[in-house]
Every structure is written in C-alpha cells, then in structure tokens.
Amino acid sequence: MVVTGGQRNDGAVLAAVLADIRVPRAGAGRPRTRPVAVIADRAYSSGVTRRMLARRGIKAVIPQKRDEIAARKRRGRLGGRAPHLDAEVYKNRNVVERAFALAKQWRAIATRYDKLAITYRAAVVLAACITWSRI
C-alpha cells in the first residue's frame, strides 16, 4: 500500500504499487510479482499508464475517456486502433470499489484525521486486517 498526498495523481505512484506486489505461491517457490491484469477506471487511461503496463507484460483493462476517443477519431487512420477492453473482466472492478467503501466505514480513514502518512497507513492496514479476519 502506498500513501500519497491528496493532491497527487494516482498514476504517478502506479509503478511503486506494482513494485510492491508479492503474491505467495501455494507450494514452494518465489512469490508472484506481476499481476495478470490491472483493472482500473478511466482516470488511469493515459498512454503512459498503458505503455508501462504493456512493457511489464500486464493486460490493461481500462476504458478510454471520451476525449481520448474523440481525439483518436479526429485523427482518422492516424489515430490508430482503440485499445481492447475486456468487458467481462472489467465487471470485476466493483470488488475493489467495495473494498474501498468498506475501509471508508472507519471514520478516521474516511476523514484522514492523521497528519502523518505512516500513521494513516497503519490505520488502513489495521482496518484491512480486521476486515480480512471477519471473512
């Protein structure tokens, strides 16, 4: 989990979030460090994000913004092909949104009373641990 300032663009820390991924394997072996796909909303639709994911071999399941679609169509053939969106996989994005909504049930997380990022991150981790223990 990476905590940033409220005014900072989420796309700027996407590389740091991807670098922190460690998924343990069922048996022995190194943990997986690369997800199969990244499911995100239109805020992550930039070409920079898509290229970064493609370089890492990660499938981008991100719809395009309306202005990006219009700009591509204005350019005609030079605009290129629209990136593929797997609509069935994109439907699973609600799981992440529900997890954020559940975390925001904690008033201290929703309002960000903590001044220090490390304290706020600890509260989010604690909320996640308590939520996971209830499942």
pLDDT at 77: 87
- Is the pLDDT at 61 greater than 90? The verdict is yes
Q: What pTM value is reported for the model?
A: 0.75
| DSSP symbols for 22-80 | -B--SSSSPPB-S-SEEE--GGG-SHHHHHHHHHTT-EEE-PPPHHHHHHHHHTGGGG-
- pLDDT tens for residues 76-134? 889 888 888 998 999 988 888 888 888 888 888 888 777 888 888 898 888 888 888 88
- Is the pLDDT at 47 greater than 80? The verdict is yes
**What mean pLDDT value characterizes the chain?**
86
- Residues of the chain with pLDDT > 70, as a percent, come to 98
